[in-house]
Structure 1
Amino acid sequence: MKEKIIMCICINPDCVNLNIDLNNSDRYCKSCNNDLLLQNRYRVISLLHDESGYSTIYIVDDAGIEKVLKVLRPHRSKNPRVRYLFRQEADILREMDHSGFPKVDGYFQQKLNNGKILYCIVMEKIEGCNLETYVDNHNFITQEIALEWLEKAVVILNELHRHKYLHRDIKPPNLILRENGELVLIDFGAATRKTFFYGKIYINIIYMLMLLLEKDIKGDGFRAPEQERRYCRYHSDFYSLARCFVYYLTKKSPADDNMYDEKHNLQWRQYTVNISNDLLNLIDKMMAYRIKDRYENGEEILKEIKKIKANSF
């Protein structure tokens, strides 16, 4: 029996064969002579996407198991802060022993023949569909499904916050529905640790300035108003999660100008189908403009979800 030929690609950004399928299983690229077997282990077999602002995403073969490889874009890697945040993604995921997070193999630096260094992370490939795509391809989700997703997402964020991390980039495609029905939170490139300085002094100063200015910043429709002003709290992640559910329940983006009235209040409830006022009120409270008007923490949200479930079924 002939040995199976594995298609592979060279990820050297200066190679003429960059991201082009090479019909061989050689150890080295015939064009640039760089190693095609990263860390003596991973063979890059396909480009997943290169639309991310910071990373190019590949699929790698690891002894017959497909995994995800993230490579920091060369022009981004010149910034030490960006390199730090990129590596931090691997460090965060290594701490998370929970099914709601991808398993990570680790972070490494791949040195090329020309002396350049590629900064890489390899992690579990999540088999499933992100919730943005799922919603786009289905009819309106039921309240039962919405409650199930919301409960699982809050549990995941509670676990992240328990480790004192803020995600800071909760948006519709960053939750993936596994084939077994579990949810997974991805993309920790913007995550940060909540330190004492960040959590107490800095936040209080900026929050007071924010109240004085009282200027609404819409942003991308998912980030909390305080996050648009360059600070973030645990409440901010839950705010963004609520905005995701605006999208999941209406199929309309909260960034759409047509979703707002003349006072720039989000008008979304009218676009939902067969969703109870209790759930609508819960989501509205999660994304209240003022932090003091939101739920104090994820446990309070879970209690409300439990009440709604008890009244619904």
Structure 2
Amino acid sequence: MEAGWEDVRAGELIDGRHELVDLIGKGGMAQVWRAHDRKTGRQVAVKFLRLDTEDLRQLDTREQEEELRHRHLRFIREAGLLAFLRHPNIPEQYAFGTHGGVPYLVMHHVVGTNLRTFLKRHTPLTPSVAVSAAAQIAAAFVHAHEQKVVHRDLKPENLMISEAGVVFLIDFGIAKQLGIESTLTQPGSTLGTPGYQAPEQIRGEDVAAATDVYSFSCVFYELLTGKPPFITNDRDGKVERQHLRTMPLRPSDLAAGIPDALDELVLRGLAKKPGRRPTMREILEVLGGFTPRPGDPEPRPWLPHDPTRPFRLPAEYTAPDPNPQQKPAGETGDDEDAGWLDPDAVQLLCSAAQRELEEGEPGDAVSELAGLVHRVREEWGSKRLVRQVWELTAGGLWLSGDFDAAARRYDDIADKLVRGDDPPERADRAVFRLRAARCRLEAGGDTGAAINAITEAGYTAAALPEPYATQVETELREAADRVSELLGGPDSGATPGQV
């Protein structure tokens, strides 16, 4: 455990500017503080990774270290995904860093209530109120899915309604970016919350945008009817079994005034097969026909957190941009010093990835770095840490057998990140060219290109002083040995070196 973590308290200054005010939430993985930003004067939320949970205390030392590493990586991924999402219904992230070795992120502070509490206090809702909340949730998901991000844990507790009636999608702790493989989720695991999980989640299968659609439809059903689509009972059995095999009653069978089009929309979203569900864009288009219009009267009875307000009084709000342009990383309007990438956190990730490569098993850390490749370049240019991120992900691609992608990554390092003609840069450039050639050898047996790369590297080494000449010659010999094996004997394995 991190020493001193229990000492984080009100009045403490984070990153020299965010003064902690009070603890406003604590969950199994994180705790959230309200804080005052001394530079901008705004109230913000500071989310810390928790290192003091009871389940951690029950683990032995080795298991604790592994679980803490796992949690660090998840937290870093959440910060990366939040920085990538910019939408009025998703809290904006202002900064990301570490404090006393503990990762934190700073985000927009939503003053309001979560949807679970809202439902307990105000059910039954009128269809207009239910649709207004659902349309804002769907708008957030349209943006997230267009950025290839799936949330994987939508439930009423992960939705906040502000005092102004704006609905926010929160807690991207188990979200993932489609196309980025990660072993943070183990095969066969069932992430998500029972009662809101899609059938494919319950079965431990791969998830996609359609998985969020199913969870959204569970929440929308509850907004319309005041009840979730399934509850455990003697006749139908456990909730999970019903999600796998049973279709619920139509919402209009449980609540009055629900149009047929909304009945149909909810039931389509609860289809057992993902391919039969509508997209979030299609859902939002349908909901748009039922949201209030500017100037419509406020709902009766009056609601303190009224989700119809953004539709009835649009002049008070900035309408969601259907094609939002992401600001460059580290740029958040008037707060030009804020940024989501913290060098210490990325270096921690690189160290973990290096250990994985040395053990010959690319895992969580390498996968997480793969999701940061373009972002570190945008924010930090061609700094050494950027090269380290690219090099480690190339090594991961190599060890996982994606030789073509590894070759392209090594060529990109040589072309885009290694600048100048001093001996260190010339040696590094030659080494990365040789690695690209070795990857192409494994991909398609292109011995001719490899021989050319070896020859060119030989000329480079001859013109370099020590120790740079030896650095290139070592890589050159490994490439030459591999060519000899392919030309004169059976294929054998190869492993990527590290500079």
Task: Bin the TM-score by the shorter chain.
Answer: 0.7 to 0.9
Q: Are 2:201 and 2:207, in contact at CA under 8 Å, matched by a contact in 1? A: yes
Q: Are 1:259 and 1:266, in contact at CA under 8 Å, matched by a contact in 2? A: no
Q: Are 1:41 and 1:62, in contact at CA under 8 Å, matched by a contact in 2? A: yes
Residues matched between the structures, number = 261
Query: What is the root-mean-square deviation of aligned Cα atoms in Å?
Result: 3.0
Residue matched to 1:278: 261
Following the alignment from structure 2 to structure 1, what is the Cα–Cα distance between the partners of residues 155 and 23? 23
Following the alignment from structure 2 to structure 1, what is the Cα–Cα distance between the partners of residues 127 and 70? 42
Q: Does 1:241 align with 2:216?
A: yes
State the 1:80 CA deviation.
2.6
State the 1:257 CA deviation.
0.7
Aligned partner of residue 137 in structure 1, secondary structure:
helix
State the 1:60 CA deviation.
1.4
* 1:300 counterpart (250, 257, 282): 282
Per-residue CA shift, 1:191-235, capped at 9, x if unaligned? 10100768xxxxxxx9xx9xxxxxxxx961101111221421101
Following the alignment from structure 2 to structure 1, what is the Cα–Cα distance between the partners of residues 30 and 290? 40
Q: Does 1:222 align with 2:196?
A: yes
Amino acid at match of 2:102: L
State the 1:286 CA deviation.
0.5
Residue matched to 2:453: none
- The verdict on how the C-alpha distance between 1:259 and 1:91 changes in structure 2, with shifts beyond 3 A counting, is farther
Following the alignment from structure 1 to structure 2, what is the Cα–Cα distance between the partners of residues 281 and 93? 32
Q: Does 1:231 align with 2:213?
A: no
Q: Are 2:132 and 2:291, in contact at CA under 8 Å, matched by a contact in 1? A: no
Q: How does 1:1-313 map to 2 (within 5 A)?
A: 12-15=4-7, 19=9, 36-50=12-26, 52-63=27-38, 64-74=41-51, 78=65, 79-111=68-100, 117-195=101-179, 220-228=194-202, 229-254=204-229, 256-258=231-233, 261=236, 264=242, 265-268=246-249, 269=251, 270-295=253-278, 297-306=279-288
State the 1:305 CA deviation.
2.8
Q: Are 2:123 and 2:226, in contact at CA under 8 Å, matched by a contact in 1? A: no
Structure with the higher fraction of residues in strand conformation = 1
Name the stretch that deviates more: 80-89 or 281-290. Answer: 80-89
Per-residue CA shift, 1:247-266, capped at 9, x if unaligned? 22232244521497468325
Q: Are 1:58 and 1:70, in contact at CA under 8 Å, matched by a contact in 2? A: yes
- The verdict on how the C-alpha distance between 1:307 and 1:56 changes in structure 2, with shifts beyond 3 A counting, is closer
- The verdict on how the C-alpha distance between 1:230 and 1:256 changes in structure 2, with shifts beyond 3 A counting, is same
Amino acid at match of 1:140: P
Following the alignment from structure 1 to structure 2, what is the Cα–Cα distance between the partners of residues 153 and 259? 33
- The verdict on how the C-alpha distance between 1:259 and 1:185 changes in structure 2, with shifts beyond 3 A counting, is farther
Amino acid at match of 2:79: A
Amino acid at match of 1:154: A
Name the stretch that deviates more: 82-91 or 270-279. Answer: 270-279
Q: Are 1:59 and 1:68, in contact at CA under 8 Å, matched by a contact in 2? A: yes
Per-residue CA shift, 1:35-55, capped at 9, x if unaligned? x212111221111122x1100
State the 1:309 CA deviation.
6.5
The higher radius of gyration belongs to 2
Q: Are 1:279 and 1:308, in contact at CA under 8 Å, matched by a contact in 2? A: no
Name the stretch that deviates more: 139-148 or 71-80. Answer: 71-80
TM-score, normalised by the number of residues in structure 1: 0.74
Q: Are 2:213 and 2:277, in contact at CA under 8 Å, matched by a contact in 1? A: no
